[in-house]
Structure formats: C-alpha cells, structure tokens
C-alpha cells in the first residue's frame, strides 16, 4: 500500500490491520517517552490547501511520534498565493525528496490527481466534499472501542451529507467492516447519487432514532453543518456568491435535525455520539449531547485520530519500498 | 501478501524433535530453579525485585509459565509483562512491516527492577538488541537478564543468555521451532529445514 486516497481502497483485512496497529500504538500517549523509531529518517510533508486544526496537528504529532521529520506547508504564505499551479507546487515539494505527502485540498479529486503526479506516498487528508479516509478510520476505531466489533452494528449519520467527505468515507469504511449505516438529512442536504451508496437513507431523525423503521441504533454520528456553504444563515457572502439555500433557517434545522437533549434521552444508555468537529453547538448538536459523559466520544475521537494516523503512516512508510518487498 | 498471512508460520513440518512435550515442562522447571538460585545470590530482595518480560509471541506464554513455576517453588510472585520489539527491529525496512505485538508493563513498572527478558529462540541476537532498545524507552531497570528456551548459536552481536533451556548446534539453513500449548496446541521443540521468520 503506497497511498491512502479513499476509504474504498481498504479491504476488510487491511482496515482491521490498521485498527489493530492503532490499538497497539494508542498506549504511547500515556508513556513518558512518546517516541517510537520506525520512521526514523523519513520525511513527511503536510500540504494543506484548506484550513485545518485537528487533522493537520494530529498528522504532525503522529509523524513525529514515529520519529519522522514532518514539515507543514499551507497554501497561505506559500507560492500558491503567488499564482503557482497545483501541479508545480506539488512537484516542487516532492522534488525535495519527501517520502510522503499528506494533502488536504478544497477540490474533490485533487488528491487523487496529485497521487498520479508524484512517486512518493500520498495520504488524503480531505479533498473537497469527496473523501476523508483517516477520519473514517478514527471513527471506526472509536466505535470499535465502544461497541467491540462493528459487525452487524447500526450507525446513524445525521446532517449535511451533501457537503460531507466524512459521511462518504464513513459509509464506505463502516460497511466494509460489516456495519449498517443509515444517513439522515433534509432532502436538500442528501447527495443526488446516494441511492448507489451501500446504505439506507431517511429524512426523519426522530423516526430513525426510535428504531421503528431501520432497527435499533448502536451509534449516532452528527455532522457539522457547513455554514460556509449554506445561504440560509448569517453567511451573506455565500449567498452573494450564488450559493443556493439548503435549509430555510438554522433554527428550523436545529429543531428538525439537531441532537437536542430530548433526542439524546431517546438513545439507549451506552449509545455513543460522535462528531468529527468542529462542532456548532446549538445547531447540529446541543451542549447537553456534546458534553454528555455517557454518550459523547468526541474527545476519544481526537485521541484515536493520532493513533490511527500513526498506524496509517507506519503502514505506508515503515516497510520496504514496493520493488524490494518480499 | 497480507500482514496476517505473513505473521502465521508454516505448519510444523516433519522435523527432528529436539525436546518432547515432557522435556519442555522439565526444562521450564529447571530454568525456574536457575532463576531463583541466581537471583537469591543477590539477597532475598533479588527475587522480589525481579520482573519477567516476554517477547511476543512465544516469549509471553513462556514468561507466564516461568512465573507460575517460580511461585510454586518458592512462593514469590513475579510480575509478568510483555515487550513488543517490532518497531525496534533493524530489518523492518528490508523485510517489510508486520503486525505489532502487545507491550504490557508489568505491575509496578520496570524502574529499578531486575528485568528478565524471555524469548523462545536466541539466534543472531538482533531481537535481543531490539528488546534492549524497546526496554530503555519504558524505563530504567537496574539490571537486564535474558532467558531463552533454545540457544541455536550463530550470534551476530555480542549478546549471551543468562538462562538457556537447551543449547542446539544448528546450521544456518535450519530453523528451530518452539511450540507451546498456549500458542500451538502442544509443547515441543523441533528442528526443521529452511529458514523462517
């Protein structure tokens, strides 16, 4: 495995191997010396064309804990702002002898394109509204920690599916791991090709959470409402840029699709609530849900992020290069 | 090749039996006695201050068995841990990645303790070197010793074992398989043709 571009690239065995490796690496977080040697002498460049806090810092920590040299390049303050093309920027960075690029880009498919241009490994850290495979892996890791195996489990993903690379990667990975996924969103935020995805869809959150139509719920994942892409909120700029209105008002969205204290009470006692962050409290998730000690696993997800990214980088970079592999 | 497939060894072939299952039990008993004797030379705190660290996969059940027998012989319970050395191996790049084993610190940690590393076969000494590196990141033992079921020679590093179950002269082209009931269904040590991981 040289690249990780899509959650669909992973077979069930490969995904389980990454999760098992992550579980072994997780305990380094409690150690005094947070350093493991397998990527000594390897260089990783985090190439971020879109803002990020948790993904970039967790990739950076993961690389450093495995003894790699990690360099961060963001579009702001780089020659991208001087008008350099994506290809030239990527080839320039790759020419410095890096072993892997961790790329986030605002255009769907950009990371796949980059992987065709360079010889080094490429990890997709989020491309537009397309995929975010390491997020899906850390969600699967968190779910496994709470539920044991994912086989036959029912995961409900709620929110802005259309704009969510997290939802797409999660549907692909969770079903690969044997879970059943139901997507819940208003019709306007349900992507057009969703019928071809290996999951159920619903427009009614209360009905789905009740378990009447789709079976008992084992986990709930709330997605961020991507305000920057919605005309209905305070974002007049987006409306000016010709964006359509996806929901009438944020208030209506919160009432119909937010995880309110009332809906939280409907969930079984040990049902975990996930959120990829950053959270819009009061919109898609209430503070009662976000801070619930029994339900919320939001900070577990962040911790899992480092362990899972360590496992991915280990798998991509620690072994022999492809041609001499035995 | 999947990592899981790579981790599984080939089925035990028809090799020369070096130790039968009753031999294995006897050898573990003898090694337990040697550990007790050796550590009691350093005063009674010697044994009470010891921990056993098994190197996965077969070093771990071996360490547990040694601890059980030592407790049966002299009543001292020795904490047992495991120490995965995969990330510290010097052939990770040449031979490719493999699944990680579990590292478990023994109760009470390893700082100031006499750590006895336990492995199934001592060959080049490279695993032991990796184990010493891995150990130094967990803490600072007062002393480190090495117990192995089989020493088959061909050392490539200045490393020797403190407790050896059986010395076996081998050819480089051969392999020594230590089977334990916990991992392989039955105890026994066999010499087989062909190199294995």
Tell me the β-bridge partners of B80: B52
The B-side interface with A (CB below 8 A) comprises 2-4, 84, 87-88, 92-97, 99-103, 133, 137-138
Q: What does DSSP say about strands B174-179 and B188-193: parallel, antiparallel, or unpaired? A: antiparallel
Q: Which of A64-78, A189-203, A219-233 has the highest mean pLDDT?
A: A189-203
Q: Is residue B2 part of a domain?
A: no
Q: What's the average model confidence in pLDDT over A21-38?
A: 90
B2·A14 Cβ contact <8 A:
yes
Write the CATH number for B58.
3.40.50.2020
Which residue do the tokens 């056993």 mark?
B52
Interface of A with B in 154-213 (CB under 8 A): none
A68 token code pair? 């790699």
The share of chain A scoring above pLDDT 90, in percent, equals 80
B44 pLDDT exceeds 90? no
Which residues in chain B are closer than 8 Å to A38, comparing Cβ atoms? 87, 92, 97
Burial class (CB in 10 A: 0-12, 13-18, 19+), A46: buried
How confident is residue B82, by pLDDT bands cut at 50, 70 and 90?
very high
Which residues in chain B are closer than 8 Å to A27, comparing Cβ atoms? 103
- Whether A12 contacts chain B with CB within 8 A: no
B34 pLDDT exceeds 90? yes
Q: Please tell me if the domain spanning A7-131+303-324 has the same topology as the one spanning A133-299.
A: yes
What global pTM score does this model have? 0.88
Q: Is residue B84 part of a domain?
A: yes
How confident is residue B3, by pLDDT bands cut at 50, 70 and 90?
very low
A37·B133 Cβ contact <8 A:
yes
Q: CA-to-CA distance for A197 and A181, rounded, in angstroms? A: 10
How confident is residue B5, by pLDDT bands cut at 50, 70 and 90?
very low
- Torsion angle, alpha carbons of A48, A52, A54, A57, to 10: 40
How confident is residue B196, by pLDDT bands cut at 50, 70 and 90?
low
A14·B96 Cβ contact <8 A:
no
Domain that holds residue B51: 22-172
CA-nearest residue of chain A to B102? A24
B100·A25 Cβ contact <8 A:
yes
Q: Is residue B179 part of a domain?
A: no
Q: Are A105 and A50 in contact (CB under 8 A)?
A: yes
Q: Are B189 and B149 in contact (CB under 8 A)?
A: yes
- Whether A37 contacts chain B with CB within 8 A: yes
Q: Which of A156-160, B11-15, B42-46 has the highest mean pLDDT?
A: A156-160
Which residues in chain B are closer than 8 Å to A324, comparing Cβ atoms? 94
Q: Are A219 and A156 in contact (CB under 8 A)?
A: yes
Q: Is residue B51 part of a domain?
A: yes
How confident is residue A237, by pLDDT bands cut at 50, 70 and 90?
very low
The share of chain B scoring above pLDDT 70, in percent, equals 91
Question: pLDDT tens digits, residue range A270-290?
Answer: 999 999 989 999 999 999 999
Q: What is the pLDDT of residue A234?
A: 46
How confident is residue A29, by pLDDT bands cut at 50, 70 and 90?
confident
Which residue do the tokens 């796949």 mark?
A112
- Structure ipTM over 0.85, yes or no: no
Q: Are B170 and B15 in contact (CB under 8 A)?
A: no
A246 token code pair? 């996806």
Q: What is the pLDDT of residue A244?
A: 54
- Whether A67 contacts chain B with CB within 8 A: no
A235 pLDDT exceeds 80? no
B9 pLDDT exceeds 80? no
How confident is residue A82, by pLDDT bands cut at 50, 70 and 90?
confident
Number of domains in chain B: 1
Q: What is the pLDDT of residue A247?
A: 84
Annotated domain spans of chain A? 7-131+303-324, 133-299
CA-nearest residue of chain B to A22? B100
Q: What is the pLDDT of residue A10?
A: 96
Q: How far is B54 from chain A (nearest CA, A)?
A: 16
CA-nearest residue of chain A to B101? A24
How confident is residue B14, by pLDDT bands cut at 50, 70 and 90?
low
Q: What does DSSP say about strands A43-48 and A100-105: parallel, antiparallel, or unpaired? A: parallel
CATH for A7-131+303-324 (3.40.50.1370, 3.50.50.60, 1.10.10.10, 3.40.50.150): 3.40.50.1370
The share of chain A scoring above pLDDT 70, in percent, equals 93
Q: What is the pLDDT of residue A166?
A: 96
- Whether A21 contacts chain B with CB within 8 A: yes
Phi, psi of A288, rounded to the nearest 5 degrees: -60, -40
Q: Which CATH architecture has domain A133-299?
A: 3-Layer(aba) Sandwich (3.40)
Question: pLDDT tens digits, residue range A113-144?
Answer: 999 999 999 999 999 999 999 999 999 999 99
B12 pLDDT exceeds 70? no
Q: What is the pLDDT of residue A51?
A: 87
Q: Are B126 and B95 in contact (CB under 8 A)?
A: no
Q: What's the average model confidence in pLDDT over A179-199?
A: 95
A241 or B83, which is more confident?
A: B83
Among A275, A299, A297, CA closest to A285 = A275
How far CA A57 is from CA of A96, A115, A125, B138, in Å, comes to 22, 22, 11, 25
Q: Are A38 and A318 in contact (CB under 8 A)?
A: yes
Q: Is residue B137 part of a domain?
A: yes
Among A254, A257, A237, CA closest to A161 = A257
Task: For A209-254, list the strands marked E by DSSP.
Answer: 219-222
For residue A260, count other CB atoms closer than 10 A to its CB: 17
Q: Are A277 and A298 in contact (CB under 8 A)?
A: yes
Q: What is the pLDDT of residue B111?
A: 94
B10 or B104, which is more confident?
A: B104
How confident is residue A239, by pLDDT bands cut at 50, 70 and 90?
very low
pLDDT, averaged across chain A: 91
Q: What is the pLDDT of residue A78?
A: 77
Q: What does DSSP say about strands B50-54 and B163-167: parallel, antiparallel, or unpaired? A: unpaired
- Whether A28 contacts chain B with CB within 8 A: no
């Amino acid at each position: 495995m040289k690249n990780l571009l899509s959650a669909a690239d992973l077979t069930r065995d490969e995904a389980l191997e990454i999760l098992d490796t992550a579980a072994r690496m997780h305990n380094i977080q409690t150690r005094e010396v947070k350093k493991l040697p397998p990527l000594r002498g390897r260089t990783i460049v985090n190439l971020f064309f879109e803002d990020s806090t948790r993904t970039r810092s967790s990739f950076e920590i993961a690389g450093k804990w495995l003894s790699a040299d990690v360099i961060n390049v963001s579009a702001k303050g780089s020659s991208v702002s001087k008008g350099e093309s994506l290809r030239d920027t990527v080839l320039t960075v790759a020419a410095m002898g890096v072993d892997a690029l961790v790329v986030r880009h605002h255009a769907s498919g950009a990371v796949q394109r980059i992987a065709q241009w360079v010889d080094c490994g490429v990890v997709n850290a989020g491309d537009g509204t397309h995929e975010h495979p390491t997020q899906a892996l850390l969600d699967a890791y968190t779910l496994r920690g709470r539920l044991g195996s994912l086989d036959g489990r029912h995961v409900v993903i709620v929110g802005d599916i259309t704009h969510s690379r997290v939802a797409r990667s999660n549907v692909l990975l969770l079903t690969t791991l044997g879970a059943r996924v139901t997507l819940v969103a208003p019709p306007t935020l349900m992507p057009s090709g969703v019928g071809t995805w290996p999951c159920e869809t619903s427009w009614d959150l209360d009905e789905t959470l009740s378990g009447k139509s789709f079976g008992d719920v084992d986990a709930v994942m709330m997605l961020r409402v991507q305000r920057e892409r919605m005309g209905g909120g305070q974002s007049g700029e987006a409306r000016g840029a010709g964006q359509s209105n996806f929901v009438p008002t944020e208030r209506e969205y919160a009432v119909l699709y937010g995880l309110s204290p009332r809906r939280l009470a409907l969930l079984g006692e040990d049902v975990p609530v996930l959120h990829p962050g950053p959270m819009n409290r009061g919109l898609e998730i209430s503070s009662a849900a976000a801070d619930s000690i029994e339900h919320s696993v939001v900070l577990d997800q962040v911790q899992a992020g480092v362990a899972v990214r360590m496992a991915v980088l280990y798998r991509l970079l620690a072994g022999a290069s492809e041609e001499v592999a035995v | 090749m999947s990592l899981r497939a790579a981790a599984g060894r080939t089925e035990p072939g028809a090799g020369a039996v070096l130790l039968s299952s009753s031999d294995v039990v006897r050898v573990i008993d003898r090694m337990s006695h040697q550990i007790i004797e050796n550590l009691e030379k350093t005063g009674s705190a010697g044994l009470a201050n010891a921990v056993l660290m098994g190197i996965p996969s077969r070093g771990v059940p071996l360490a547990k068995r040694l601890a059980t027998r030592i407790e049966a012989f002299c009543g001292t319970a020795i904490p047992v841990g495991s120490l995965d050395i995969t990330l510290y191996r010097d052939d990770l790049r040449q031979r490719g990645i493999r699944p990680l084993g579990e590292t478990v610190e023994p109760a009470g940690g390893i700082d100031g303790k006499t750590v006895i590393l336990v492995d199934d076969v001592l060959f080049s000494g490279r695993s032991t070197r990796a184990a010493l590196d891995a150990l130094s990141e967990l803490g600072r033992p007062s002393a480190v010793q090495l117990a192995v079921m089989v020493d088959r020679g061909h050392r490539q590093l200045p490393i020797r074992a403190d407790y050896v179950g059986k010395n076996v002269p081998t050819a480089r082209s051969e392999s020594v398989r230590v089977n334990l009931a916990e991992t392989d269904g039955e105890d026994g040590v066999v010499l087989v043709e062909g190199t294995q991981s």
